[in-house]
Amino acid sequence: MQLKDRSDTHLLEWLEWVVTYGLAIVEGTPNRRDQNRRLAERVAFIKKTHFGEEFEVQAKAGASNLAYLATPLQLHSDLLYYEYQPGLNMLHCLVQAAGGEEGKNQFTDCLRLSQILRETQPDVYKILSTTLVDWSDIGAERGDNWFALHRGPVLCEDHSGQFVRVNYSHQQRDSHFTVPLDQVNRWYEALAVFSQALHHPDNTVFLKTKPGEILTFDNLRMLHGRTGYNNGRSERHLIGVYIDNDMVFSRIRVLRDKLRRSPAN
């Protein structure tokens, strides 16, 4: 969609699209470094993480993160080792990989997939929604060292049994798996079913953003990945920011109330 002006109507339309469908692309933004920040700050303040307020996704020497490589990036959610994991992920494309199939984003909607598993394979769903797993990351960025750890199931529910979050990232699954021994094999079997479903053509999509587009998606719901690209032939460069979902829903409520009182907006 295009945010053609600074109207509250278009801002609300974009946010409602993201929270309803999990993903939206904002088109036609100026291809400048400040555009992601400007759009994010119309919603709320940017969530600062150990990557800072903004992070740059591009291949570079001495990479401390898989996102900084040109190799394929497996499906995952960002910062799942945070208790308060950021919700809205915004990636502004400045430079895209040249090859047609290179640098494509991959997405799987785990809200939909969890509903399918609950209905068709309830045993698998129960194992993945009740077995606690350790997710961790040890690293350094901009001179800051961290050791982050979160414990939670792959599929998380609220008190009423509704899906609220997916935890999935092979590279961030901790080497410690503290569950009773008789549960280990059953969990890995359930994870294999889930992983296969994630990549089934009926459940996953590929898309490639163009320079000037901002790819926005719900990081608690959508797993994302990326095909590899030849960094020797072309550079791929994205600017990313996060916003907490609490702030997103707050802005939606404020805008709805404002527009109800000002129908001419």
Give the per-residue pLDDT at 83: 95
Nearest to 33 by CA among 59, 56, 2: 56
Give the per-residue pLDDT at 141: 80
Average pLDDT, the chain: 92
Q: Which residue has the higher pLDDT, 262 or 97?
A: 97
Q: Which of 6-10, 25-29, 190-194 has the highest mean pLDDT?
A: 190-194
Give the per-residue pLDDT at 265: 44
Q: Which residue has the higher pLDDT, 85 or 98?
A: 85
Give the per-residue pLDDT at 165: 98
Q: How far apart are CA 252 and CA 255, in angstroms?
A: 5
What confidence tens digit (pLDDT) does each residue in 24-77 have? 999 999 989 999 999 999 999 999 999 999 999 988 765 566 767 778 899 999
Give the per-residue pLDDT at 156: 98
Decide: pTM greater than 0.95.
Answer: no
What confidence tens digit (pLDDT) does each residue in 202-219 have? 999 999 999 999 999 999
